[in-house]
Chain A
Amino acid sequence: MKRYPQLRMLATIALLLLLPFAVGTMGNAWVRILDFALLYIMLALGLNIVVGFAGLLDLGYIAFYGVGAYTYALLASPQFGVHWPVWLILPLCAAIAGLFGALLGAPTLRLRGDYLAIVTLGFGEIIRIFLNNLNSPVNITNGPQGIASIDPIAVAGVSLSRTLNVFGFEVHGLYLYYYLFAFVALLIVVVSARLQDSRIGRAWVAIREDEVAAKACGINTRNVKLLAFAMGASFGGVAGGLFAGFQGFVSPESFSLLESIMVLCMVVIGGMGHIGGVIFGGLLLAVMPEIFRYSAVPAQQALFGKVVIDPESLRMLLFGLALIVVMLYRPAGLWPEPRHRRELAGKKS
């Protein structure tokens, strides 16, 4: 398989194309879960640039998701009565979120580790609180009620939220969103991979490894760090825009601290700095809780004859336990970057 990269690519694409139909046999709810998993993968890949590559711990990342979501919501809803097309809004989501990323980066340039984490956490909360309160004196975000009836995403004039009839074959809107999200996620994977193997990507890793030495190598650490914040944030912005169009509704409570931590867990559990690992982590943490939601009650009834612990608390309990186990036995993540393998591969060539 390794010898035929084209074949591998074809197999991946075929798998991506068929996956929703395989999952869809269990019901459309699972296709929706898959759609959300793709959004989380985009977020995790964005955060991976900041945390994984540049080594800057960011606990407020979900703010950029929120910025992207509200950008879309304000530009394609009855809120202001504007209805821009999606191909115009999404780049704007990336740009505005990127700007916010640089805005967060600027005052935190001298901070590292715990201190940086605290400031970014505060930043995430500031954004959420702003979204919550910007309904007076001028109503911009509509406050805690959120913005509803957001235009669904339309590609080439075809709205993705309706069932599409392809040669007498009914394709549900969830599937259409899946293909759009998969396409954008793939784009983000390619951009991430190309950045990683570039002059900029090396500068990020150099800063992570030793900032003083990076400066001595002529790297302008201020600019390169800001670039990491902005790039990572722009991925989050795109994911946020897609989320707003997909849901048709946004409100501040979707962008809480817990979400930031969830995305960080995806990066850490998957394997910081390793694109494959981060995708795996995102998929795992987006899908596992849902599987659990459906199986916890029947499993307990079969075992004990009644529901002992309600599924929601059990979920958090097991999640915490899983985190501890991973940190103890696989501190580099479940699928870390196979550096040593790359070392060996380099030797052979």
Chain B
Amino acid sequence: MSCLLEARGISKQFGGVQALQDVSLTINHGEIYGLIGPNGAGKTTFFNVLTGLYARDAGEVSLDGKPLPLGKPHAISIAGFARTFQNIRLFANMTALENVMVGRHARTASGVIGAILRTAAARGEEQAIRRRAEELLHYVGIGDRTHDLARHLSYGDQRRLEIARALATEPRLLALDEPAAGMNASETAALRTLIEGLRADGITILLIEHDVKLVMGLCDRVAVLDYGRKIAEDVPEQVRRNPAVIEAYLGVGVGAA
């Protein structure tokens, strides 16, 4: 399997805190890659470094062999790497449809002149944006909420809307930051179906998640972060048995003490 994302030696420091230390990993085309770890292990920091929100202190990231620029989230999105946020970040006062239409920004081109003169090209593009946004809303299963304001959607639907908006940027790699956080069992099951569908449609997925059952059931490979270091990376069954991982989550066993 060829590698889509490669991160080498990522380090990040916040003042005296070493949030990430020399973290390297590779994500292959078409896989669902899980990233887990106890609270404060540096998962979201790692995510923010990858997507350009934080500048990294050291290390390199490349997508499909091309290096990703530093500190330029929009360029990384255009390169084909989309993300969702742990604490949902929707455009609250825009409708669901408009939220997804914003996601099409990177893949469309019409500017001020086209908008003012309403040129045929600009109108055609606007229609295509709208059509694609409607398709995506149906795809994630909230087609009936198209014209509701984002802030009026239920929590689960807001998560779906965020995924639809990320999909609108036509990503090759979609990074989901704790998509199941705060979801009940049936919502989580529906989310799982959605993620499996995404993979079937050829999108590679990086999943940060606390719900270990979801991660273990869904991911092809899992990496574990603890105190900013990668302590394990393997298929789920192996990771589950890894003593270092058990120690990170549960502390040192009685036998070892």
Contacts and interface: CB of A to CB of B under 8 A. Distances in A.
A213 interface: yes
Interface residues of B, number: 45
Nearest to A187: B116
B148 A218 contact: no
A203 B148 contact: no
Interface in A182-231: 191, 194-195, 197-203, 205-206, 209-210, 212-221, 227, 231
Nearest to A337: B93
Contacts of B102: 202-203, 206, 214, 217, 219
B90 A210 contact: yes
B92 A198 contact: no
A210 B78 CA distance: 18
B169 interface: yes
A209 to B, nearest CB: 4
Contacts of B93: 205, 209, 339
A159 B126 CA distance: 43
Contacts of B125: 199
B91 interface: yes
Contacts of A194: 115-116, 118
A213 B114 CA distance: 25
B115 A199 contact: yes
Contacts, number: 115
B209 interface: no
A305 interface: no
Contacts of B115: 194-195, 197-201
A346 interface: yes
A343 B105 contact: no
A117 to B, nearest CB: 21
A210 B91 CA distance: 6
A206 B94 CA distance: 8
B101 A202 contact: yes
A247 B115 CA distance: 33
B103 A217 contact: yes
A191 B98 CA distance: 20
B204 interface: no
Interface string B85-112: 1000111111101100111111110111
A110 interface: no
Contacts of A346: 95, 97, 146-147
What DSSP secondary structure best describes chain A's contact surface? helix
Given A209-B91, A346-B95, A218 B78 contact: yes
Given A195-B115, A199-B125, A203-B102, A215 B147 contact: no
Contacts of B114: 198
Nearest to B114: A198
Contacts of B106: 217-219
B73 interface: yes
A195 B89 CA distance: 24
Interface string B112-132: 101110100010011001000
A105 B107 CA distance: 26
A195 B116 contact: yes
A2 interface: no
Given A209-B92, A219-B74, A199 B147 contact: no
B96 to A, nearest CB: 10
B90 A217 contact: no
A3 interface: no
Contacts of A220: 74
A217 B165 contact: yes
Which 8 residue pairs spanning A and B have beta carbons closest together?
A: A218-B106, A346-B147, A198-B115, A218-B77, A209-B91, A215-B73, A213-B89, A206-B102
Given A213-B85, A216-B51, A216-B85, 18 more contacts: A194-B115, A199-B105, A209-B90, A209-B93, A210-B89, A212-B53, A213-B90, A215-B74, A217-B74, A217-B77, A217-B103, A220-B74, A231-B112, A339-B149, A340-B149, A343-B148, A343-B149, A346-B97
Interface of B: 51, 53, 73-74, 77-78, 82-83, 85, 89-95, 97-98, 101-108, 110-112, 114-116, 118, 122, 125-126, 129, 146-149, 165-166, 168-169
11 contacts: A191-B116, A194-B118, A203-B102, A206-B102, A209-B91, A213-B90, A213-B91, A214-B102, A216-B74, A219-B74, A220-B74
